[in-house]
Structure 1
Amino acid sequence: MSKLKQLSAVTLQEQLYLELLESIKKGKYKPGERIPAEMQLSQMYEVSRVTVRKALDQLVKDNILIKKHGKGTFVRIPAHVENVFSGGSFTDTCLRMNAVPSTKIISRCIQHVDSEIADLLSNTDNQAITITRLRSVNDTPCIVEIDYFQTSFAFLLDEELENSSILQKISEKLGLIPSKFEDHFQIKRATKEFSKLLLLPTATPILEVTQTVLTENDEVIYINKQYINSEKYVYAVRSSK
């Protein structure tokens, strides 16, 4: 942290703006993290709270920071932008955000699924391969992801999936190439299980994204459900051809 120059041609407000922006770019304050309060920043940089407030307001206007009533000021989380014609990559998205992604396998098994999933997979016996993973950004849990497959995809039960792409595994083993992605969005309340994994109070609102992955001939490859803590990870969709 460098001391602001009182006699500079650049105003103290602009100097503080640039100092905070540089700290964010260098990772001192990471996406989703709260920055110091006005009083702390005033003491740290030896400027008035009015100067601090104006610098913060400008960072908010520029979509660098976000103010949350009663909680403080936080570094805005860049959106996860997924191209629905090519499929999104959690790892690639995090790397574009200068964030560190990680994945943990919670469970994988053959189990009974509800009729909605079974119908989409054309499974008459309501059985499906189910793989549950926890996605984290900078060691912060953000997404519980559940994938559903026909039982003919049983090879996935033994594959290394924590640092690999499921789509790539399927393409290599079965020659199935994803071509279409249909997304549906709902707001749900976090169950006890999801609350524990995402470190949230029970019943906290979370975003549910249900994605059907299909071939060019509309053959369903699998169903992907994501339960997202949008306080930590923002999901957006970009459509283009």
Structure 2
Amino acid sequence: MMKLDPHNPIPLHVQLKTILERQINQGYFQDKIPSERELTEQYEVSRTTVREAVSQLVQDGILEKRHGKGTFVSVRPIHEWLGSLSSTTETVKKMGMTPGAELLSHGIVDSPPHLESYIPDKQMYLIKRLRYANDEPLSIETHYYPVDIGEKMARYDIATRPLYEILETELHIQLWEGEQMITGRTLTSEEAELLGVKENHHALLAERYITDIEGTLIEHSTSLYRADLYSFHMKLLRK
């Protein structure tokens, strides 16, 4: 168990807030957090310190107080660490949550203009899915594949099965390198309805290109994430 450092210039309630938030993100508390008395005894601090830490987590939307019942974990945001080629399923599982998917559409479509330099074919295979974390709508994912690859993938359960798993396990395609760009925009009314939020809700847009070991484009995807449920993290090193 991490302990608070009274000699640290960082206030004790901020230290406690950081510890509790880390434990919540790691899935240590699946539902309800310990009571004020329990936290006071565990971390050897005053109730005022505990209340300040918990109040900040409530303000941040990480915790919610229920009258007469205690303090509970709200829907936890999903953190994706940049630098590794991970699927949404893998990221959600690492957060201790249950991933889910709903197939919205799939089939052969005209190639988007911005992919013409990667795929000379005039058509590609589209797979569009709504993704969930603990049954909460999380993102809308749109994947484009070369037609021959997409048609082979469609023979399997593309509705709920991880697409990377189908590519690697069933089709024996080695995903090698990815390039990802992250921007932001507001959702359309249709997108907002799918994600269960109000129109003009802010979203994170991640666009990803994935190639095999020979540099051939295997997948292009765009993912619209609810900004209140998803965040991207990275570690930086100054050289």
Is TM (by shorter chain) over 0.5?
yes
Count of residues in correspondence between the two structures:
200
Distance, in Å, in 2 between the alignment partners of 1:53 and 1:77 is: 27
* Counterpart residue number, 2:6: none
* Residue 155 (structure 1) aligned with residue 152 (structure 2): yes
Counterpart position of 2:29? 26
Structure 1: runs of 5 or more not aligned: 1-12, 31-40, 43-50
Matches within 5 A, 1:106-185: 106-123=104-121, 125=122, 127-153=123-149, 154-185=151-182
Helix, strand or coil: the match of 2:31?
coil
| Corresponding residue number in structure 1 for 2:217 | 220
CA contact (8 A) 2:78 2:91 kept: no
Residue aligning to 1:199: 196
Asked if the contact 2:210–2:219 (Cα under 8 Å) also holds between the matched residues in 1, the reply is yes
Residues 110, 77 of structure 1: alpha-carbon distance in 2 compared, 3 angstrom cutoff: same
Q: TM-score, normalised by structure 2?
A: 0.69
Equivalent-residue separation in structure 1 for 2:228 and 2:207 (angstroms)? 19
The structural deviation recorded for 1:232 is 1.4
Matched-pair contact (CA < 8 Å) for 1:103–1:162: yes
* Contact 2:78 2:92 survives alignment (8 Å): no
Structure 1 residue 92: Cα displacement: 2.7
Aligned to 2:226: 229
- Structure 1 residue 159: Cα displacement: 1.7
Contact 1:104–1:133 at 8 Å: present in 2 too?
Answer: yes
Counterpart-to-counterpart distance in 2, 1:174 and 1:226: 23
> Hey, what's the Cα distance between the residues in 2 that align with 1:57 and 1:155?
55
Q: Secondary structure at the match of 1:227?
A: strand
Match of 2:207 in 1: 210
Query: For each residue in 1:187-206, what CA deviation from the matched residue of structure 2 results, as whole angstroms up to 9, or x when unmatched?
Result: 12212221111112222221
CA separation of 1:108/1:26 partners in 2, compared to 1, >3 Å: closer, same or farther?
A: same
C-alpha distance 28-167 of structure 1, shift in aligned 2 (>3 A): closer
Superposed displacement of residue 130, structure 1: 0.6
Distance in 2 of aligned mates of 1:198 and 1:173? 30
SS at the partner of 2:77? Answer: coil
In the superposition, relative to structure 1, how do residues 77 and 59 fare at CA in structure 2: closer, same or farther (>3 Å)?
Answer: farther
Structure with bigger RCO (C-alpha 8 Å, 6+ apart): 1
Determine whether 1:77 maps to 2:69: no
Q: 1:26 to 1:213 in 2, by over 3 A?
A: same
Q: For 1:55, which of 47, 50, 55 is the aligned residue? A: 50
SS class of match (1:120) = coil
1:215·1:221 contact (CA, 8 Å) conserved in 2?
yes
Unaligned runs of 5+ in 2: 1-11, 37-45, 66-72
Give the superposition deviation at 1:134: 1.0
Equivalent AA in structure 1 for residue 30 of structure 2? G
**Letter in structure 2 aligned against 1:175:** H
Secondary structure at 2:115 match in 1? helix
Contact kept, 8 Å, 2:79 with 2:231, in 1: the verdict is yes
Q: Deviations over 1:196-224 (max 9, x none)?
A: 11112222221110010011222111101
The C-alpha deviation readout for 1:117-145, integer Å capped at 9, x for no partner, is 3433332x2x2111011111111101111
Choose the corresponding residue for 1:99, options 93, 97, 100: 97
> Is the CA contact (8 Å cut-off) linking 2:78 and 2:229 kept in structure 1?
no
* Corresponding residue number in structure 1 for 2:59: 67
Q: Deviations over 1:58-114 (max 9, x none)?
A: 3578xxx26249xx8875635222543xx2032232222221111111111111242
Calculate the TM-score normalised by the size of structure 1: 0.68
* Amino-acid identity (%): 16
